Amino acid sequence: MFRTLVVLLILLTIIMICCIGTVSKRVVRNREHVLHLIRTAVFTAVCYTGFILVPSKYYHLAVFMDGLYFLSTDWLVVYLMLFAASYTQISPPSKWPRRMIGFLAGIDSISFLVNTFTHHMFDLKTVMSASLGVEYWDVQLHPLHAVHRVFVYGIVLYSLLILTYRFIKSPVIYKNKYGSILFQTMAVVGLNIICSVMDTYFDYSVILYAFLAISICHLALYASPKKLFEKINSTIMEDSVVGLFAYDNAGLCVGVNEMAKNLFASGEDIYTVAEKYLADWKETYKDRAERVIDTDQVVVKGGTEMDVHVTYQKFFDEKGRDLGCCFQFEDRTEVAREFREEQYRATHDILTGLLNRNAFADEAQKILSDAQEPYCMICANIQDFKLINELFGTEAGDKLLIAQADMIRKAEGHDSVSARIYADKFCTLMPKCDYNEQQFLENMSITMDIGMNSPFKLHYYLGVYDIEDVTEPVWTMYDKATMAIDAIRGSYEEYVSYYKDEMLRHIIEEKEVLGGFDKAIEEKQFCMYLQPQFANNGKIVGAEALVRWIHPEKGMISPGVFIPVLEKSGLISRLDLYMWGNAAKTLEKWKEQGRGDLTISVNISTKDFHFLDVCEAFRMLAKQYDFDVKNLKLEITESVLMENIKEIKTTIDRLHALGYDIEIDDFGSGYSSLGMLKDINADILKLDMIFLQETKNVDRSKMIIKNIIAMSKELGMPVITEGVETKEQVDFLTQVDCDMFQGFYFAKPMPLESFEKEYG
């Protein structure tokens, strides 16, 4: 028996040494504390084994060894306490108690070492055991030994208390972590107390110390963390927001968590549902051999559709044998909804629900890339939309835009796409065969009449571009459709305009005119041409100044090309000032040369009245140049007079006051008003021959011309007819008493030098 116990102790010591070896190599939590504890336990076991094996004749050695054993128990409990504090994470806030305990353990240890000589703690006596037939050392404890006991049990008690506290307070899954160590420690302490009380010849608790050390090493470092991990894992699985179906290798469902139960709740048993699900899955994915398959599915739960991300995973052991599989179901309904909403916001116009600019370009590109039939692009634009916002408020404006978007949506056919590009600019791409202009216009007019409770009449424009080349960039197509609108913008009679290549050419020309204007003025590329004017007796009376742009690369550009562009931009006033100056300078020169009888007529554009103080300009000319103001005739087209008759009348009066004569240009070409003639105090009437050319009923026209001339005579206004091309015209005009002529029949506009050479 004695020998068995010794062998057992030696064996346990070897195991502990092995434990130290393995633990030292591992990086685990609490490793240092466990190592200290187990090393001290080895020391305790060695000291105790040494002590009981000391032969009876070596009394002092035995006392020394037993003293070592006792002092080792001091350090054993100290390290047990340090381990327990770290394991439970309960330690006193200050370091003083720990230092105090270390100090006391040191004193106690010294006391045991000194005891070898003083025997104040204990003494030994050899006793012969009759039952065992061996001699053993009987330990005689002295009263001072009780101090050691109190110290040791006090520390153990503290360790037990903190373990108990954690054991009671922690959730169920943590009970095992603290409980196993707590109960084992209690057992060791219990046995130690029993051995002490019964005064056995062998301290059995030493064996338990060793067991406890090994057990703590195993539990604290391996078993408990592993168990805890498993428990937490299964709790996570159970409470996870991800649904889970787990199967064994035969495809039988072995686990379903709460989320999965919720997701697949039906009248049927959930395990049956799970197994059916796996069977269906295997059927669908029978060609897929991957270990993990991901997919998005729609699961109907209680009548509502849910977007679920499904992950299927197969498990194998290290030898590749099938262990089973599982499904994870992640409810992505909310994420998918948010994603859809975000995508909607990114691609749609929130007000009207139509696509936005970028999405339109993408969609249109897609449609056109596999277009099998001709397509057209239609742009819609409300005239003066800004005004609607200002007059009726943005709410009414929004209402109108929504109504228009609805109309556009209605007009859409198959394979079409519509968008609100910006503000009130809408665009639709549709197959040409679906485009019904009449229908579009009708719908538009209904939309425009959305009841603003106002007589305000809305006008809108459609620009249509018949796509010729589907590879053209979408925005080029859009630009062409809007170019078509630009061609009719401002008109109240037209609603629809179709893109023509001239429009693009026109725009390019416009850009060239505007871009080259400054340089042209600077480099004097604009030239004054003169077209002679004759009296009906054949005598030269003067000329009309007509501008020519002598472009260094393009040659001569006629005013028909650039005048309208310059008028649109307001640049015309700069050109006219230049021309008027030229004319005045020429008149000055002629006066000096003794040809003060010749006149020059200059053109005043309608726009000049907006951008210039015309009177002031002519007042300054008269100051700057020495010429007879009567010789500079000012041509104003009748359209100017239509615009703002009152203001123009004052201007004309002021020009008259300066001494200038006013000619009414192009009379008969537009909306000539005979009534106007009596209001305007003009000096000369300039009749346009177009009047004669454009009518089929020549006789009626002749009659009108005759009467106009007669009437203007009565008003005291001489008449000059321009655009005279034939002898017949001259004869007729002479017959009806026209005073002067200008036209190709007599001469074409010519440079100043030519004019002077011929008529100077």
The binding site for Ca ion (CB under 5 A) comprises: 603, 635, 665-666
Closest by alpha carbon to 127, among 117, 141, 137, 116?
A: 137
Whole-number Å distance between alpha carbons of 265 and 281: 18
From the CB of 629, what's the least distance to ligand C2E, in Å? 19
Residue 564 touches ligand C2E, criterion: CB under 6 A: no
From the CB of 546, what's the least distance to ligand C2E, in Å? 4
From the CB of 723, what's the least distance to ligand C2E, in Å? 4
Instruction: State both tokens at 700.
Output: 């009626």
From the CB of 349, what's the least distance to ligand C2E, in Å? 44
Residue 76 touches ligand C2E, criterion: CB under 6 A: no
Tell me which DSSP letter residue 736 carries. T
* 659 vs 670 by CB, closer to ligand C2E: 670
135-141 and 122-128: which strand pairing?
antiparallel
H or E stretch covering 426: strand 425-431
From the CB of 427, what's the least distance to Ca ion, in Å? 42
Q: Which does 560 bind (CB under 5 to 8 A by kind): Ca ion, ligand C2E, none?
A: ligand C2E
Confirm if 273 and 264 have CB atoms less than 8 A apart. yes
Residue 666 touches ligand C2E, criterion: CB under 6 A: yes
For ligand C2E, the binding residue among 559, 581, 751, 760 (CB under 6 A) is 559
Instruction: State both tokens at 238.
Output: 């159970």
Closest by alpha carbon to 214, among 74, 76, 17?
A: 17
From the CB of 501, what's the least distance to ligand C2E, in Å? 24
Helix, strand or coil, per DSSP, at residue 454: coil
For ligand C2E, the binding residue among 530, 749, 752, 755 (CB under 6 A) is 749
* 310 vs 528 by CB, closer to ligand C2E: 528
Q: Which residues make beta-bridge pairs with 429?
A: 377, 417
For ligand C2E, the binding residue among 49, 109, 447, 531 (CB under 6 A) is 531
Q: Would you state the torsion angle of the CA atoms of residues 358, 361, 363, 367, taken in this order, to the nearest 10 degrees?
A: 180
Which residues in 582-715 belong to E strands, given as ranges? 599-604, 632-637, 661-667, 684-688
* 19 vs 557 by CB, closer to ligand C2E: 557
322-331 and 304-316: which strand pairing?
antiparallel
Taking residue 471's Cβ as centre, other Cβ atoms within 10 Å add up to: 8
DSSP 266-315: SSS-HHHHHHHHHHHHHHHTTT---SEEEEEEEEEETTEEEEEEEEEEEE
For residue 215, what are the CA distances in angstroms to 15, 17, 220, 413, 493? 11, 13, 8, 81, 101
Q: Which does 251 bind (CB under 5 to 8 A by kind): ligand C2E, Ca ion, none?
A: none
Among the listed ranges 454-462, 517-525, 557-565, 585-593, the one in contact with ligand C2E (CB under 6 A) is 557-565
Q: Which does 724 bind (CB under 5 to 8 A by kind): ligand C2E, Ca ion, none?
A: ligand C2E
From the CB of 741, what's the least distance to ligand C2E, in Å? 9
Whole-number Å distance between alpha carbons of 360 and 364: 6
From the CB of 670, what's the least distance to Ca ion, in Å? 11
Confirm if 711 and 674 have CB atoms less than 8 A apart. yes
From the CB of 530, what's the least distance to ligand C2E, in Å? 10
Closest by alpha carbon to 404, among 383, 386, 420?
A: 420
Residue 672 touches ligand C2E, criterion: CB under 6 A: no
From the CB of 346, what's the least distance to ligand C2E, in Å? 51
Taking residue 377's Cβ as centre, other Cβ atoms within 10 Å add up to: 27
From the CB of 476, what's the least distance to ligand C2E, in Å? 33
Among the listed ranges 3-11, 201-209, 460-468, 720-728, the one in contact with ligand C2E (CB under 6 A) is 720-728
For ligand C2E, the binding residue among 200, 233, 262, 558 (CB under 6 A) is 558
Rg of the chain, C-alpha, whole Å: 56
* 311 vs 669 by CB, closer to ligand C2E: 669
Residues numbered 296-335 forming contacts with ligand C2E, rule: CB under 6 A: none
Closest by alpha carbon to 582, among 632, 534, 619, 623?
A: 632
From the CB of 616, what's the least distance to ligand C2E, in Å? 17
Whole-number Å distance between alpha carbons of 545 and 529: 6
Q: Which does 472 bind (CB under 5 to 8 A by kind): ligand C2E, Ca ion, none?
A: none
For residue 424, what are the CA distances in angstroms to 356, 364, 404, 482, 621? 12, 19, 9, 12, 47
* 425 vs 607 by CB, closer to ligand C2E: 607
For ligand C2E, the binding residue among 171, 560, 594, 675 (CB under 6 A) is 560
Residues numbered 207-266 forming contacts with ligand C2E, rule: CB under 6 A: none
H or E stretch covering 253: strand 253-256
> Interface mask (CB under 6 A) for ligand C2E, residues 369-408, using x and -?
----------------------------------------
Residue 542 touches ligand C2E, criterion: CB under 6 A: no
Q: Would you state the torsion angle of the CA atoms of residues 481, 487, 492, 496, taken in this order, to the nearest 10 degrees?
A: -30
Whole-number Å distance between alpha carbons of 92 and 107: 22
> Interface mask (CB under 6 A) for ligand C2E, residues 114-133, using x and -?
--------------------
Whole-number Å distance between alpha carbons of 382 and 392: 15
Closest by alpha carbon to 245, among 288, 286, 284, 275?
A: 275
Residues numbered 154-213 forming contacts with ligand C2E, rule: CB under 6 A: none
Q: Which does 35 bind (CB under 5 to 8 A by kind): Ca ion, ligand C2E, none?
A: none
Closest by alpha carbon to 259, among 272, 244, 269?
A: 244
The count of chain residues that interact with ligand C2E, using the rule CB under 6 A, is 21
* 206 vs 636 by CB, closer to Ca ion: 636
Residue 743 touches ligand C2E, criterion: CB under 6 A: yes
For ligand C2E, the binding residue among 168, 653, 744, 753 (CB under 6 A) is 744
Residue 668 touches ligand C2E, criterion: CB under 6 A: no
Instruction: State both tokens at 1.
Output: 């028996």
From the CB of 604, what's the least distance to ligand C2E, in Å? 6
* 365 vs 673 by CB, closer to Ca ion: 673
Residue 722 touches ligand C2E, criterion: CB under 6 A: yes
From the CB of 746, what's the least distance to ligand C2E, in Å? 8
Residues numbered 693-712 forming contacts with ligand C2E, rule: CB under 6 A: none
* 66 vs 722 by CB, closer to ligand C2E: 722
> Interface mask (CB under 6 A) for ligand C2E, residues 578-617, using x and -?
-x-----------------------x-x------------
Whole-number Å distance between alpha carbons of 310 and 468: 48
Among the listed ranges 119-127, 196-204, 291-299, 742-750, the one in contact with ligand C2E (CB under 6 A) is 742-750
* 718 vs 743 by CB, closer to ligand C2E: 743
Whole-number Å distance between alpha carbons of 621 and 472: 53
From the CB of 529, what's the least distance to ligand C2E, in Å? 7
* 86 vs 669 by CB, closer to Ca ion: 669
Instruction: Spell out the residues 6+ positions from residue 652 whose beta carbon is closer than 8 angstroms to its own.
Output: 636, 662, 680, 681, 682
* 349 vs 638 by CB, closer to Ca ion: 638
Whole-number Å distance between alpha carbons of 482 and 378: 8
Residues engaged in binding ligand C2E (CB under 6 A): 531, 546-547, 558-560, 563, 572, 576, 579, 603, 605, 665-666, 722-725, 743-744, 749
